[in-house]
Amino acid sequence: MSRVSGTNEVSDETQAAEAPQPRIQILKGEPTDAELAALITVLGCAGGTPPQPPAENTRWGLPVDKLRFAMSNYQRLTLQQITHMKRR
Protein backbone atom coordinates (compact mmCIF):
# COMPACT_ATOMS: atom_id res chain seq x y z
CA MET A 1 0.00 0.00 0.00
CA SER A 2 1.32 3.40 -0.88
CA ARG A 3 1.56 5.94 1.93
CA VAL A 4 0.73 8.85 -0.34
CA SER A 5 -2.33 7.63 -2.20
CA GLY A 6 -3.48 4.80 0.05
CA THR A 7 -4.06 2.47 -2.89
CA ASN A 8 -2.73 -0.95 -3.59
CA GLU A 9 -0.37 -0.83 -6.58
CA VAL A 10 -0.99 -4.45 -7.55
CA SER A 11 -4.74 -4.06 -7.91
CA ASP A 12 -4.37 -0.78 -9.82
CA GLU A 13 -2.34 -2.40 -12.60
CA THR A 14 -4.51 -5.45 -13.22
CA GLN A 15 -6.79 -5.33 -16.21
CA ALA A 16 -9.59 -7.72 -17.02
CA ALA A 17 -8.80 -9.93 -20.00
CA GLU A 18 -11.26 -9.27 -22.77
CA ALA A 19 -13.00 -12.25 -24.31
CA PRO A 20 -12.40 -12.63 -28.05
CA GLN A 21 -15.31 -11.38 -30.13
CA PRO A 22 -16.80 -13.92 -32.55
CA ARG A 23 -16.46 -12.83 -36.15
CA ILE A 24 -17.93 -14.23 -39.37
CA GLN A 25 -16.76 -12.93 -42.75
CA ILE A 26 -18.70 -13.45 -45.96
CA LEU A 27 -16.11 -13.95 -48.71
CA LYS A 28 -18.33 -14.81 -51.70
CA GLY A 29 -21.96 -14.30 -52.59
CA GLU A 30 -24.71 -12.30 -50.98
CA PRO A 31 -26.57 -14.41 -48.41
CA THR A 32 -30.00 -13.34 -47.25
CA ASP A 33 -30.79 -12.48 -43.66
CA ALA A 34 -32.50 -15.86 -43.22
CA GLU A 35 -29.42 -17.70 -44.51
CA LEU A 36 -27.14 -15.75 -42.18
CA ALA A 37 -29.46 -16.45 -39.26
CA ALA A 38 -29.41 -20.18 -40.09
CA LEU A 39 -25.61 -20.17 -40.35
CA ILE A 40 -25.18 -18.35 -37.05
CA THR A 41 -27.63 -20.73 -35.36
CA VAL A 42 -25.77 -23.81 -36.62
CA LEU A 43 -22.37 -22.42 -35.63
CA GLY A 44 -23.69 -21.38 -32.23
CA CYS A 45 -25.06 -24.86 -31.54
CA ALA A 46 -21.84 -26.51 -32.73
CA GLY A 47 -19.88 -24.67 -30.05
CA GLY A 48 -21.86 -26.38 -27.31
CA THR A 49 -22.01 -25.38 -23.71
CA PRO A 50 -19.19 -25.46 -21.18
CA PRO A 51 -18.92 -28.72 -19.24
CA GLN A 52 -20.91 -28.86 -16.03
CA PRO A 53 -18.99 -29.29 -12.77
CA PRO A 54 -19.28 -32.76 -11.24
CA ALA A 55 -22.21 -33.21 -8.91
CA GLU A 56 -21.55 -33.46 -5.19
CA ASN A 57 -21.87 -36.85 -3.58
CA THR A 58 -24.84 -36.71 -1.31
CA ARG A 59 -25.74 -39.08 1.45
CA TRP A 60 -29.43 -38.21 1.25
CA GLY A 61 -31.79 -41.09 0.53
CA LEU A 62 -29.50 -44.02 1.30
CA PRO A 63 -31.31 -47.34 1.84
CA VAL A 64 -29.90 -47.53 5.36
CA ASP A 65 -32.00 -44.46 6.23
CA LYS A 66 -35.13 -46.60 5.98
CA LEU A 67 -34.10 -48.57 9.07
CA ARG A 68 -36.04 -47.49 12.12
CA PHE A 69 -35.88 -48.57 15.72
CA ALA A 70 -38.34 -48.58 18.58
CA MET A 71 -38.38 -45.59 20.89
CA SER A 72 -37.34 -47.87 23.74
CA ASN A 73 -33.95 -48.46 22.11
CA TYR A 74 -31.33 -47.71 24.75
CA GLN A 75 -28.22 -47.78 22.53
CA ARG A 76 -26.36 -44.53 22.10
CA LEU A 77 -25.53 -45.31 18.45
CA THR A 78 -28.20 -46.79 16.26
CA LEU A 79 -27.50 -49.18 13.42
CA GLN A 80 -28.25 -46.34 11.05
CA GLN A 81 -25.56 -44.13 12.57
CA ILE A 82 -23.01 -46.97 12.65
CA THR A 83 -23.63 -47.75 8.98
CA HIS A 84 -23.14 -44.09 8.04
CA MET A 85 -19.83 -44.02 9.93
CA LYS A 86 -18.58 -47.16 8.14
CA ARG A 87 -19.26 -45.75 4.67
CA ARG A 88 -17.06 -42.67 5.05
Per-residue pLDDT of the chain (88 residues; tens, 9 = 90+): 555 555 555 554 455 667 767 688 888 999 999 999 999 889 888 877 788 888 888 877 777 777 766 655 656 666 777 777 776 5
- What pLDDT, on the 0 to 100 scale, is given for residue 79? 73
| C-beta of residue 33 within 8 angstroms of C-beta of residue 40 | no
DSSP string, 57-78: P--TT-GGGG----TT---SS-
CA distances from 67 to 17, 24, 51, 64 (A): 55, 62, 38, 6
